C-alpha cells in the first residue's frame, strides 16, 4: 500500500455504530443489554476534530462522510482513492469528504479469550458467518494499533467500529482503546462522549474524559 503523505495532517476519526445487543447475530443470547428503542443502529463519532465546525455529519449534502466495507486494507484503500478521485472530478476538494472503514470488533483480556468468545458466539448459528467487512478479534492495544496503521497508511480517514457484543466491547473501546490513541496524539475524545454514553446507561470513559 502506498502512503498518502497529505493524510498525516488529517484528523483520525473513531466512530461506533450500536445495534441491538451487538452486531453479532447471536449476541442477544449472551447479554441482557439492548439499545433503547429509537436508537437502533445509532452512529456516533467518539472523537473530536481540532475545528469544532468540522464535526462529521452523515446527512450533509453534498455528502461529507462515506462509510465503506472491505475484507482487507488494500481493498479499503482502493475504495478511498476512488472516492477521492470522484469528488475531485466533481470539482470538490477531496479532503472535504471523510472516508470511514467499517471494522467488526470483539475485544478480550487477551487474543485467545477473544477468539474463544467469538467461537462461542458462532456456535449459536446454524451456518458459518462471513463478516461484512474487516474484523478484529483481540485486545485493546491491538485494535489501537490497527486503527493507527489505517490512518498512517492512508487506508481511510478513520473507522466505524461495529461491536459484536454490547456493552462490554464498547466499554473496552472507550476505556482502553481511545486513551491509547489519545496518548499517542492521534485522536481527542468527543466533548459529548459522556452525554452519548449516558443515553445507554453507560458510565465508561471516566479516564479519558478526565484527561
What are the pLDDT digits (tens) for 46-74? 998 766 667 888 888 888 999 999 999 99
Q: Per DSSP, which regions of the chain are E strands? A: 13-18, 42-45, 65-68, 98-107, 134-138, 158-163
pLDDT at 191: 78
Q: In this predicted model, what pLDDT tens digit does every residue of 110-139 receive, in sequence order?
A: 999 999 999 999 998 988 889 999 999 999
Looking at residue 80, what DSSP letter applies?
H
Q: What's the grid cell of residue 148?
A: 493507527
**Cell numbers of 158, please?**
478513520
> Residue 6: what pLDDT?
44
Element (H, E) at 170: helix 168-172
H or E segment at 147? helix 140-152
Question: Pairing between strand 134-138 and 98-107?
Answer: parallel
pLDDT of residue 61: 80
pLDDT for residue 85 is more than 80: yes
pLDDT greater than 70 at residue 146: yes
**d(C-alpha 207, C-alpha 162), whole Å:** 22
pLDDT higher than 60, residue 209: no
> What angle (nearest 5°) sits at the alpha carbon of residue 51, between those of residues 207 and 14?
50
- Cα separation of 13 and 159, whole Å? 6
What span, in angstroms and rounded, lies between the C-alpha atoms of 77 and 79?
5
Paired sense of beta strands 65-68 and 134-138, if any: unpaired
Cα–Cα dist 152/133, whole Å: 20
Amino acid at each position: 500500500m502506498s502512503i498518502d503523505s497529505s493524510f498525516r495532517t488529517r484528523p483520525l476519526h473513531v466512530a461506533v455504530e450500536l445495534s441491538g445487543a451487538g452486531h453479532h447475530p447471536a449476541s442477544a443470547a449472551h447479554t441482557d443489554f439492548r439499545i433503547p428503542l429509537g436508537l437502533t443502529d445509532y452512529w456516533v463519532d467518539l472523537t473530536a476534530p481540532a475545528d469544532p465546525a468540522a464535526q462529521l455529519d452523515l446527512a450533509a449534502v453534498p455528502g461529507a462522510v462515506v462509510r465503506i466495507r472491505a475484507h482487507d486494507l488494500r481493498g479499503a484503500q482502493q475504495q478511498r482513492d476512488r472516492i477521492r478521485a470522484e469528488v475531485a472530478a466533481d470539482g470538490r476538494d477531496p479532503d472535504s469528504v471523510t472516508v470511514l472503514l467499517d471494522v467488526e470488533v470483539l475485544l478480550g483480556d487477551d487474543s485467545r479469550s477473544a477468539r474463544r468468545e467469538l467461537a462461542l458466539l458462532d456456535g449459536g448459528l446454524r451456518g458459518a458467518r462471513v463478516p461484512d467487512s474487516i474484523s478484529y478479534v483481540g485486545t485493546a492495544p491491538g485494535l489501537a494499533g490497527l486503527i493507527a496503521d489505517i490512518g498512517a497508511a492512508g487506508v481511510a480517514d478513520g473507522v466505524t467500529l461495529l461491536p459484536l457484543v454490547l456493552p462490554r466491547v464498547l466499554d473496552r473501546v472507550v476505556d482502553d482503546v481511545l486513551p491509547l490513541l489519545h496518548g499517542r496524539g492521534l485522536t481527542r475524545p468527543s466533548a459529548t462522549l459522556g452525554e452519548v454514553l449516558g443515553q445507554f446507561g453507560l458510565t465508561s470513559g471516566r479516564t479519558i474524559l478526565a484527561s
